[in-house]
Amino acid sequence: ESLTTASKTALAAPTSTLAFHARNIPTISLEAYLLRISKYCPTTNEVFLSLLVYFDRMSKLSQEATGKTFVIDSFNIHRLVIAGVTVASKFFSDVFYTNSRYAKVRNML
């Protein structure tokens, strides 16, 4: 319960949702971005499926904590995906890459 409480507290802070919000919409499509992640940081399907769970949980926690819906849009999806892939691959996989490698894939935008 303390993890859920901490998550709700973090989501209630206005800066938490803005941390993933880009100034401009990336020019790469989400499909191309996922393919690039797959190419440079190969991982299992569980990692990509876990993104759906993460996004669902973030939306529910945000609704409970603030009464507002956590909006996933073109300004934040790329950053949310790479962050989710980084976390999920470290959780699900015995072999994963360094944070700097994931950052390089993200910075290619």
- 65 in a structural domain: yes
Take residue 103 and report the two structure tokens written for it.
């950052």
- 76 in a structural domain: yes
- 11 in a structural domain: no
- 14 in a structural domain: no
Number of domains into which the chain is organized: 1
Q: Burial of 45 by CB count in 10 Å (0-12 exposed, 13-18 middle, 19+ buried)?
A: exposed
Task: Express each pLDDT in 9-39 by its tens digit.
Answer: 766 766 655 677 888 899 999 999 999 999 9
Evaluate whether 37 touches 82 at the Cβ level (below 8 Å).
yes
- 90 in a structural domain: yes
* pTM for the model: 0.80
Query: Domain of 86?
Result: 42-108
- 2 in a structural domain: no
- 46 in a structural domain: yes
State how far the Cα of 72 lies from the Cα of 55, in Å rounded to an integer.
Answer: 8
Residue tagged 């015995």 (tokens): 94
Task: Express each pLDDT in 40-55 by its tens digit.
Answer: 989 889 999 999 999 9
